[in-house]
A and B are shown apart, each in its own frame.
Chain A
Amino acid sequence: MSQAPTETLQQRYKTSIRKLTIWTMAWLISLALVAFGPAFIWDYQTTVSVVAIVVNLLVGVQMIIANKRHLDGMDELQRKLHMNAMAISLGVSMVSGAVYGLLEPVRLLEQTPSPSNILFVMGISYLVSLVIGSRKYQ
């Protein structure tokens, strides 16, 4: 059986949310650097672009770890709600992403599908699932 935590749920939640916010912001900034840096800052120098990508990946790993720790710090109902939302979000993204990728080859879409649209679907489906799940247990 696990030992009693020294911090309260609220304290753990506050700390893990703060860390997750910091790493998410850092990841977004590093992603923006990878996207816009080559054109506007370092004139497509390969070495700098590779360094920017490596930094983005490392920060991304830290964001994933922060998210996992945030999940670990939740109580069992909160964790269940988030796990359900993740499952639905993953399924919706997989199903919609698979068919979205086929829209151009079958000539139903003129432009090349953008991966960022899948991320948008993933985020929205996660939030909607979380809100619906939370209401169910109120």
Chain B
Amino acid sequence: MKNRLKVLRAERNWTQMDLARALDVSRQTVNAIETGKFDPSLPLAFKAARVFGLAIEQIFDDEQG
């Protein structure tokens, strides 16, 4: 699943650690999501959407159709 976490984070000048703290996950988890190695759960995706003030589909793209 593709996502815009890295871009959104860069726009706010946040480090991976800053985002990890905001999402209450480890920096490794943020990195794994950004690089597409790990797909977050629905609650974590909602949390990311809240943190960035966007809708889930503006951050995550399931690449289906």
Contacts and interface: CB of A to CB of B under 8 A. Distances in A.
Contacts of B43: 1-2
Interface string B16-31: 0000110011101101
Interface residues of A, number: 15
Given A1-B46, A137-B37, A137-B38, A75 B32 contact: no
Given A1-B46, A2-B43, A8-B21, A75 B37 contact: no
Max chain A C-beta neighbours (<10 A), residue from B24, B31, B37, B40: B24
Contact of B29 (A8, A78, A136): A78
Interface residues of B, number: 16
A75 B38 contact: no
Contacts of A41: none
**6 tightest Cβ-Cβ pairs between the two chains A and B:** A75-B25, A77-B29, A137-B32, A75-B29, A137-B37, A9-B24
Interface of A: 1-2, 4-5, 8-9, 75-78, 80, 134, 136-138
26 contacts: A1-B43, A4-B24, A5-B24, A8-B21, A8-B24, A9-B20, A9-B24, A9-B25, A9-B26, A75-B24, A75-B25, A76-B25, A76-B40, A77-B29, A77-B32, A77-B38, A78-B28, A80-B38, A134-B28, A136-B37, A137-B28, A137-B31, A137-B32, A138-B28, A138-B31, A138-B32
